[in-house]
Amino acid sequence: MTVVESAPAKINLSLEVVGRRRDGYHELATVLQTVGLADELSFEESDGLSLACDDPSLATDGNLVLRAARALGGGRGARIHLRKRIPVAAGLGGGSADAAATLRGLARLWGLRIGEGELLRTAATLGADVPFLLRGGTALATGLGDQLEALPDIPSMWAVLHLPESGPADKTARAYRALQPEHFSDGRLTHELASWIWAGAPLRLERWPNTFERVADQLYPSLAAARLRLRGAGAPWVRLAGAGPTLFTMVGDRSAAEAIADRLDAPGQTWCVPAHRRLG
């Protein structure tokens, strides 16, 4: 038996860092959205647990895929193959998406009778974005990113993603360390966006913040020029995905999105993909 799961990337339509807790973790308010750039994972029955990947450097014991399998499996085996398409350390949640797809895929392969609540609790032990990426779509996330409120699907939209440079493996930790108390906000704007989505109001996506924009340029020297290239290619606005360094814009028309991507003329660094609806 072989089980195949897609692992879609995510962007943040709004992202506010509310503050830093005494334990060092940060409270967030963010509206998350999955998009059609996805890794693919296949799972086959096996006595042992193994991971192969078309990028061999990722097939390590510390990969979130194997961590997810161990968290769910209690010693069960599987042969897992990861077809990697989401760039690594790009702000698109690729590792978390793979972990979420692993939980879904192995629950099917192993025939586990596991409720969504238990699956969400397991996902939360693997990373802040993993619970959201179990089902994807559009959601408001608060707390450490693990308190989720599913939102209605947004209108049909296309995203243009552009990665001007690769991020280091610890890029999210670096971004958090760069934040200062004056960069924090109360999450009000993110909650306002969620209320607009509930109401079916025009989203005006250029309006909503990403706290990491305040420090991203000092971490990634190429971002300022990349923003200008995107605007010059026709992007109506430009936003940072997560903690970066991927930039994105969104438009309602596929041909308009493809035209922006074509004008950028950066194959291997640019993707034109639809927004995703919630799984299940």
Residues with a catalytic annotation lie at: 10, 129
Pairwise CA distance, residues 211 & 232, whole Å: 24
Q: What is the 3-state secondary structure (H, E, C) of 81-100?
A: EEECCCCCCCCCCHHHHHHH
Both tokens of residue 157? Answer: 């939209």
Helix (H) or strand (E) holding 28: strand 26-45
Phi-psi region of 143 (alpha: psi -120 to 50; beta: other; left: phi over 0): left
Pairwise CA distance, residues 255 & 232, whole Å: 17
Within 13 A of 264's CA, how many CA atoms are on the CB side?
Answer: 30
Contact 165, 222 (CB under 8 A): yes
What 8-state DSSP symbol labels residue 275? B
Neighbours of 54 (CB within 10 A): 13
